[in-house]
Amino acid sequence: MMSNSVTDNFSEESAARLARLINNVNTGIWQYDQVTQKAQWSAGFYALLGYKPGDIECSYKNFYDNLLYHGDKAAFIKAIHYSGPGPAPVAQVRLLTRHKGYQWFESTALKYDGDDGRFIYGVLSNIDHHKLTELKAKKAEFLYAETSRIARIGGWEIDIPTMGLYMSPEIFEIYQLYGDVNMTFDEAISFFEPQYQPVITKAIDDAIKLCKPYDQEMLFRTAKNNVIWVRAKGEPIIDDDGKCVKVRGIFQDIDIIKRRGLSMQSSINLLDDQNKRLQNFAYIVSHNLRSHAGNLKFMVNLFEESTAEADKEEIFSHIKTISHSLTATMGHLDEIVKIQSEIGKERKNLSFQSIFNNVVAALDTNIQAGKVQLKTDFSRAQEISYIPAYLESIFQNLLTNAIKYRHPQRQPIITCYTYKEQEHIYLVFEDNGVGIDMQRYGDQLFGMYRTFHNNKDAKGIGLFMTRNQVEALGGSIDVESTVDVGTKFTVRLS
C-alpha cells in the first residue's frame, strides 16, 4: 500500500506494522498514482467512513464526486497539488460517511515524483468532534462580538497589584481610539468630563478598598471630541482572604438612550409645568371673574333697592370702579392668552445690547429718579434668536422690578449680563435691592397678582408674564434672593 519512497527508513515488515497501527488510531492513509490514476485506501480509511474494504469503489473519481463535500473541493485540491516551499497545507474537509452523514476530516498530502512513478500520498484523520467544538466556540465568540457591537458595550479589568488595565476592542471603539493603543488607568479616567472624573475615581477606589460595586452614568469625551453619555459598571473580585485583587466591569455607550430619556423627561416636565400653569390660569379666571361678578351683582341689587339719589350715585360710582377693574382683569387674561398664541411667531437674531438700550431709554425717567447705576456685559453671548416682543418684555419686567424694589438706604446697582453654557444662553439680572423672603414667598413668586412688599405700584403681573414668556419658548427662570441683600434672576432663554 505504501511505496518504498515513503518507507525508505523502514523495512517492509515495519511498514506493514506501521500501516496496521495507523489503521487502529482513527486515521486512514491513501495513495493515488498520477500515471495510472489508480487509488489505494487503507483499511483505516474505509473504517473512518464507516465501511469495510470492498464496500465502496476505491477510486479518486468516487472519492471526489461522491464522498467529498462540494464546498470543500477547492481546499482539498489546493492541498494535494501544493508545490510551494515548506510542508503542504493541511486541509479540513467534510466527507460523507455511511451512518453519520458528513463529518469533518483533516487531510495531509505529500507529492512524490521519482523514477519509479508519480504518486500522491495522504493521511486522513477524523476531527469531527474537535471541529464542531471549535465552530461552536467561534459561533459563540461571533455572537458575543456582534452583541457587544450592537449594544456598544465592552469589558474591562484592572489588576490591582499592578494597576494594569485591560480593555476589550469594543471599549476602544467607544473611546474612538483605533490601532495599537495601550492606556494607563489615569489616561483612561482622563476621558471622562471633568465633573465626573472624581466620581469614577472614587467609585473605583471604593471598589478596591471597600469591595463596593458601582453602576454610574456619566458624560465622557471621546478622542474625536464628541461628548457622549456612558454607563460604567464595576465589581470587585476578591481572593480567598477577602482582599480585592481585580476590578472587572462593563463600559457602554448609552448616549442615544440617555438623551432620549432626558428629552422625554424634559417634555414631561414641560407638560407638567404647562398643566400647572393652565390650572393656575383656570383658577385665576374663575376666582377673579367670580369676584368681579359677585361684587357687580351685589352693587346692582343695592342700586335697585336704594331710593335715595345720593346713595344711587355713590353705588353707581362703585359699579364703574368694578367695571374698570373687570376690564383690567380681562386685559391681563388676554395678555396671557396672547403669549401662547404668539409662540409661532418668527424669531429674529437680536442683540442683547440693543434690546437693553431700548428698555433703558423707555425707563430713563425711573432710572434717573432712582439714581440707578447700571452695569452690563453681553460679551459672552451677544445675540440670540428670539421673538423680539418677548425678549424686550423680559428685559423690561426684570429691570422694572429691580428699580421698583431698590433698597432705600443705598444706591441701587443693577448688573445685567449673558453667558453661554453648552447649547443654552443665559440672561442674568442682579440687584442690591430689598430682596425677597424666599422661604416665605418663594413658591408664590411667579404667581399672578402676587406682591410681597406693599408697593402701591405693584400689581403682581410682571413676573407672572415673564415666566410665561420664557417657558412658552422652552426656557426656565430661577431666582435667588436674600432680604436686605438683593435678588438675582437667572433666565435660561434657549
Residue type at 358?
N
Asked which of 283, 316, 341 is the last residue of a domain, the reply is 341
Residue 31 inside a domain? The answer is yes
pLDDT for res 4: 41
pLDDT for res 95: 96
pLDDT for res 1: 40
Looking at the structure, do residues 283 and 249 belong to the same domain, yes or no?
no
Residue 459 inside a domain? The answer is yes
Using CA atoms, how far residue 401 sits from 274, 367, 437, 453, in Å, is 25, 12, 15, 11
Length of the chain: 494
Provide the residue range defining the domain that includes 276: 262-341
What CATH number has the domain bearing residue 89?
Answer: 3.30.450.20
Residue type at 267?
S
Residue 1 inside a domain? The answer is no
Domain tally for the chain? 4
Expressed in angstroms, the distance from the first to the final Cα of the chain is 89
Looking at the structure, do residues 251 and 322 belong to the same domain, yes or no?
no
Using CA atoms, how far residue 133 sits from 138, 140, 361, in Å, is 9, 11, 85
Residue 312 inside a domain? The answer is yes
Using CA atoms, how far residue 343 sits from 42, 278, 333, 419, in Å, is 90, 16, 16, 24
- Which regions of the chain are under pLDDT 50? 1-8
Asked which of 311, 341, 371 is the last residue of a domain, the reply is 341
Looking at the structure, do residues 92 and 142 belong to the same domain, yes or no?
no
Looking at the structure, do residues 116 and 156 belong to the same domain, yes or no?
no
Q: Give Cβ neighbours of residue 386 (< 8 Å, ≥ 6 apart).
A: 347, 348, 350, 473, 493, 494
DSSP 83-128: -SSSSPPPEEEEEE-SSS-EEEEEEEEEEEEETTEEEEEEEEEE-H
Q: Give Cβ neighbours of residue 308 (< 8 Å, ≥ 6 apart).
A: none
Residue 9 inside a domain? The answer is no
Residue entry with cell 434672576: 489
Looking at the structure, do residues 387 and 478 belong to the same domain, yes or no?
yes
What backbone phi and psi angles, to 5 degrees, belong to 52? -110, 155
What CATH number has the domain bearing residue 404?
Answer: 3.30.565.10
Rounded Cα–Cα distance for residues 243 and 234 (Å): 16
pLDDT for res 412: 93
What backbone phi and psi angles, to 5 degrees, belong to 491? -110, 120
Looking at the structure, do residues 65 and 99 belong to the same domain, yes or no?
yes
pLDDT for res 340: 64
pLDDT for res 473: 80
Asked which of 258, 276, 292 is the last residue of a domain, the reply is 258
Looking at the structure, do residues 199 and 252 belong to the same domain, yes or no?
yes
186 with 197: CB under 8 angstroms? no
pLDDT for res 447: 67
β strands within 240-370, DSSP E: 244-253, 348-351
Residue 392 grid cell: 424686550
pLDDT for res 450: 58
342 with 465: CB under 8 angstroms? no
Residue 371 grid cell: 439714581
Looking at the structure, do residues 318 and 305 belong to the same domain, yes or no?
yes
Looking at the structure, do residues 414 and 442 belong to the same domain, yes or no?
yes
Rounded Cα–Cα distance for residues 252 and 52 (Å): 58
CB atoms within 10 A of CB 473: 16
